[in-house]
Amino acid sequence: MSDREPTPLATTPPAGPPAEPGRPAPPQNRPRRTGWLWGALAVVIALVIGGALGWGIGRSGAATTAAVSSSTSGQQVSACDAITVSDDVLPAIVTVSAIGSAGGGTGTGELITSDGYIVTNNHVISGAVDGGTISVVSSGGVESPAQLVGRDPRSDLAVLKISGSNLPTVPWGDSAKVVVGQPVVALGAPLGLSGTVTSGIVSALGRTVPVPGDDGQTAILANSIQTDASINPGNSGGALVNCSGDLIGINSAIATVPNAAGQAGGGSVGIGFAIPSDFAHTIVDQLIKNGHVTYPYFGLSVAPIPPAAAQRLKVTDGLYVVSVVPGGPSAQAGLRQGDVITEIDGKPAANADTLAQTVMTTKAGESVDVTYVRDGQTAKATVTLENPPS
């Protein structure tokens, strides 16, 4: 595959209406499968777009932290003051409705500017991009037509615009400061229950979650935040906020227990994924400025190496270099056709998602260390990524 085109991901058919698909995804750094096997529990990843039901979330303000005493350990466990967070955040939340020729769905967005720019997921509005209509309903019940400013299927983000001034907003938070165990709040309208607030903690960081995107391609939730705050269909595009009401993530997918047909199950099992705000912010800025996103590229095409070939080359996993663009970044770094990339920036190159994530989270002009095997010898190269040729 080329580093500019994520590898397609096999999916199962929707379990219900088209707007509520059950969409499996493989685990991080594992061979592709139709589901994840965590312990003895098989789960699948589902995008949390709503069907005929609604959803919503997000805005800003200050909140306090309440300390709750643990009767078993005697230690202090912190939790956000969800009442204060709700009062501050919900005014900036809108419910997004997208209707196209194939049907409709609903999701959430959050106002990020006082003149009406809204962030949501691409999969919320993708069904309406060709001749469909998009509208939003504010927390106060006011419906407005929305213009699609730009979308990026690769990162599953989109920006809408409504008319207005002095609108309530949710401030961008610093996801780089998020730590495992810190309390968070998710707000939205899961299953059509608007104004729903759930709380929990950050369960893990740095999850790479491939999910189905447009036209059979793969979207990547790069370095996503994992949380146990309850997220269900209807929460897509909604806000995950810290105790100060700052936006630290865009809720986008959940893990669910599959049904008998192997498709995504009904709702939350306490494993949700949010796109980190720092990454989302850079994508949103490009969408507002240009209407699209430009990613740098390595200038090579790769394919996962078969197990037999990996054994012969004495590598655990790797990406076989199918071709190298003459004069491109990888060629300049000395990589050749036939090399086997085993690490990218210190991360095992177990599948092409590692390459895709690196491209998505690296800027043109930045360098990436690549470890590779050639003729049985391990070597390293430094690839300086560039913007793709126009």
> Which residues are annotated as catalytic?
123, 156, 236
End-to-end CA distance of the chain: 20
Q: What is the residue-wise DSSP string for 114-165? A: TT-EEEE-HHHHGGGTTT-EEEEEETTS-EEE-EEEEEETTTTEEEEE---S
Q: Residue 297: which of 250, 273, 264, 333 has the closest Cα?
A: 333
Q: Residue 63: which of 187, 176, 181 has the closest Cα?
A: 187
Return the HEC string of 11-35. CCCCCCCCCCCCCCCCCCCCCCCCC
245: left (phi over 0), alpha (psi -120 to 50) or beta: left
Residue 136 CA to residue 55 CA, distance in Å, equals: 11
Instruction: Give the chain's largest Cα–Cα span.
Output: 66
DSSP state of 75: -
Q: Which residues are 43's β-sheet partners? A: 36
Q: Residue 211: which of 388, 41, 48 has the closest Cα?
A: 48
3-class SS of residue 99: strand
CB 336 within 8 A of CB 324: yes
